[in-house]
Amino acid sequence: MSDYPLPSYAASVWVVGDQVHAGFDGHTVAFPNTETGLTLLLAVLRERARDNAFNKIGTKSSPTKYAVERALVNDKRYNELLRAMHAAKAVSDTERQESIAWLKELGL
């Protein structure tokens, strides 16, 4: 098999932080950089090579973000990462009140 031109089922893959992004047929899906996430990504890439309907979004060879999240629902490390991300975003009531008071001092 020749390395060029790329096969029609090829996907673009890159890393951003703790996620591996894969571009399929005009849409991008993020996989967690965990053993389970990478295993799922490899399964998708294998399916793309087998599937003749690789350009249909929502199939095993071109999953949606929701499909990836459902497949990872029982992955312990992925769920820990989600909890940590949500905790970092959470703002306590005290912090919120302090921010509001500070903005009022600025006249905003």
The total number of structural domains in the chain stands at 1
Structure tokens at 31: 């996989």
CB atoms within 10 A of CB 68: 19
- Give the pLDDT confidence score for residue 52 in this predicted structure: 64
Kindly state whether residue 7 falls inside one of the protein's structural domains: no
> Does 64 fall in a domain?
yes
Q: How far apart are CA 83 and CA 78, in angstroms?
A: 9
Confirm whether 4 is domain-assigned. Answer: no
User: What would the pLDDT profile of 22-35 be if each residue is shown by its tens digit?
Assistant: 998 778 999 999 89
Specify if 77 maps to a domain. Answer: yes
Residue 47 counted as domain residue: yes
Q: How far apart are CA 65 and CA 40, in angstroms?
A: 12
Is the residue at 76 inside a domain? yes
Provide φ and ψ at 43, rounded to 5°: -65, -40
pLDDT in tens, 48-90: 888 765 567 777 777 888 888 888 888 888 888 888 878 877 7
Distance from C-alpha of 41 to C-alpha of 9, rounded to nearest angstrom: 14
The domain in which residue 75 lies consists of 12-105
Residue 38 neighbours by CB under 8 Å, 6+ apart: 20, 31
Position 10 pLDDT exceeds 70: yes
